[in-house]
A and B are shown apart, each in its own frame.
Chain A
């Protein structure tokens, strides 16, 4: 195990390379998902509102021929 972590004496360069790759890419995944969720949350009530408003005038037209 220690030999594996040591990586022939180059562990100090190899593990940070893998570590920073993981950190940056994981961070990017999390941020991207959070941005999508935030926009979806803001958009949802607006779209429901719009759909409701579209339906209402249509009903009124039917009611008064």
Chain B
């Protein structure tokens, strides 16, 4: 049976759906973050080479996953918004961007704090780090485009073009550690042969990963509600001027 996704393109119905999901997402976030942090700081062992610095991974890697996942989601909603002209799709991208930007910033900063003790430097202009920095600027550019148009439908179109062109950066980030020489370690969880990390460290990482995804969902619901209501507000203000 096919699910008619077009039903949820109606802003009012979409608002009702996300409002129903919200308490579950918020509750799940609290439980998963609590469990994840406990496992990360108290249960998981130190790495035999990296010592305790491996614990930075539990906040670094989920942030990096989310930075790429959120961008991909924005690219999909930009395409949907462009092809089917669904306002909810455009506003989803607008709502998600600041969250993605925060995750990207955190991936860069925590990576830097991990790099200093392990590599001997906070920053190096190699492929993985530079492509992540470009991702951060793409988020900032996308948010700036939305702010620089009074006409929101024009803003949506310009922002959609930016996010779709910038999507080329996502595979570059993913494969940068294979294509170029880099200080950054290669993929060790999402590989063709399966994860290469022992379960004592992999389990807390995955719990933190799902916790970050759940946190994203929670914040996204709040922000997308604000965007939909803000759109309604703009329309009413325009109508009031015309009367």
Contact = CB atoms under 8 A, between A and B. Distances in A.
Interface string A43-59: 10011001000000000
Contact-residue size bin, chain A (C-beta under 8 Å from the other chain): 20 to 34
A7 B109 contact: no
Interface stretch (B54-62, B70-78, B146-154): B54-62
Interface in A29-44: 29, 32-33, 35-36, 39-40, 42-43
B114 interface: yes
Interface in B194-236: 215, 218-219, 222-223, 225-226, 229-230, 232-233, 236
B126 interface: no
Contacts, number: 82
A36 B105 contact: no
A25 B223 CA distance: 14
Contacts of B230: 39
Contacts of B237: 46
Contact of A32 (B46, B51, B113, B219): B219
B233 A24 contact: no
B98 interface: yes
Interface string B33-48: 0000000010000100
Contacts of B177: none
Nearest to A24: B102
Contact of A13 (B106, B117, B232): B117
B114 A13 contact: yes
Contacts of A25: 102, 106, 215
A14 B52 contact: yes
B53 interface: yes
Contact of B236 (A24, A29, A40, A50): A50
A35 B233 CA distance: 13
Contacts of A24: 102, 105-106
Contact of B106 (A11, A21, A33, A39): A21
A11 to B, nearest CB: 8
A16 interface: yes
A8 interface: yes
A31 B219 CA distance: 10
B130 interface: no
Contact of A14 (B55, B106, B233): B55
A17 interface: yes
Interface of A: 7-11, 13-14, 16-18, 20-21, 24-25, 28-29, 32-33, 35-36, 39-40, 42-43, 46-47, 50
